[in-house]
């Protein structure tokens, strides 16, 4: 395929790496979740995040992003749904006591939350169209196929970065084992998620 031989992969990979290393909602949430509940829950959350982003890639490739640009009300509906979902996660972080909830149940919740948090993030959809779209070239084949391929490469990078964050967060949580299930810890995690919700509201406005 010409895309593999003619694309400026160096520029693309550097751009994707820098974007993924820039602090964002996924980074903050995964770090907080893993510190509070451990790496197993964090890894399942990464799986959910990845599936949510994969769904966004498909939506971007099939032209749904173009529809959002023509229907701002849909974009903002998704935007505020994502904000409200993150606020709900903040409440859950406060109300759940990590050591008393079965890890299996927390893992399932982490997966679902990671999936929906990214599925309800219109900024991710715009990212795949605007940013990744900058690296597509009409003469190299169907644009939808190029978006899927480049999006898959980005997913690989994001998985590596997210797993690193999970294991670093879990390691910190183990060092603070007694603290991470305390009221002060739950307040800290909850406030952090509220901050992420505000971040999403501002950055997608």
**Average pLDDT over every residue of 11-25:** 79
**Average pLDDT over every residue of 44-52:** 95
CA-to-CA dists, residue 19 to 13, 23, 131, 169, angstroms: 10, 9, 10, 20
pLDDT tens-digit profile of 148-171? 999 999 999 999 999 999 999 888
**Average pLDDT over every residue of 186-197:** 75
**Average pLDDT over every residue of 24-35:** 81
Please report the pLDDT score of residue 155 as a whole number.
Answer: 95
Give the largest CA-CA distance in the chain.
59
* Residue ranges covered by each domain of the chain: 25-203
The mean of the pLDDT values for the chain is: 78
Q: Where is mean pLDDT largest: 33-47, 111-125, 151-165?
A: 151-165
Percent of the chain having pLDDT more than 70? Answer: 76
- What is the four-CA torsion angle of 109, 30, 56, 202, rounded to 10 degrees? 110
CA dist., res. 107 & res. 4, Å (int): 37
- What is the four-CA torsion angle of 72, 76, 77, 78, rounded to 10 degrees? 110
Please report the pLDDT score of residue 120 as a whole number.
Answer: 79
**Average pLDDT over every residue of 110-134:** 80
pLDDT tens-digit profile of 71-113? 677 667 767 876 786 687 678 767 755 444 455 677 888 899 8
Q: At what angle do helices 143-175 and 25-37 cross, to 10 degrees?
A: 40
Instruction: Give the residue among 117, 110, 109, 89 at the shortest CA–CA distance from 189.
Output: 89
pLDDT for residue 205 is more than 70: no
Please report the pLDDT score of residue 182 as a whole number.
Answer: 65
CA dist., res. 70 & res. 68, Å (int): 5
Instruction: Give the residue among 3, 29, 21 at the shortest CA–CA distance from 151.
Output: 3
Instruction: Give the residue among 99, 113, 103 at the shortest CA–CA distance from 47.
Output: 113
Please report the pLDDT score of residue 100 as a whole number.
Answer: 45
pLDDT for residue 52 is more than 90: yes
């Amino acid at each position: 395929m010409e895309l593999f031989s003619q694309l400026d992969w160096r520029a693309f990979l550097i751009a994707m790496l820098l974007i993924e290393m820039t602090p964002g909602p996924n980074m903050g949430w995964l770090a907080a979740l893993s510190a509070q509940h451990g790496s197993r829950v964090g890894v399942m959350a990464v799986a959910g995040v990845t599936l949510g982003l994969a769904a966004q890639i498909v939506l971007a490739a099939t032209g749904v992003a173009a529809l959002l640009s023509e229907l701002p009300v849909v974009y903002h509906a998704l935007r505020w749904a994502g904000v409200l979902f993150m606020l709900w996660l903040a409440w859950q972080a406060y109300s759940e006591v990590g050591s008393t909830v079965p890890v299996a149940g927390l893992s399932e919740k982490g997966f679902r939350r990671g999936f929906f948090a990214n599925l309800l993030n219109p900024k991710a959809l715009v990212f795949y169209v605007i940013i990744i779209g900058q690296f597509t070239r009409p003469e190299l084949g169907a644009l939808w196929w190029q978006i899927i391929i480049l999006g898959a490469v980005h997913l690989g990078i994001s998985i590596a970065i997210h797993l690193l964050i999970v294991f670093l967060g879990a390691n910190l949580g183990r060092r603070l084992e007694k603290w991470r299930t305390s009221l002060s810890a739950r307040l800290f995690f909850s406030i952090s998620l509220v901050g992420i919700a505000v971040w999403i509201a501002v950055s997608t406005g």
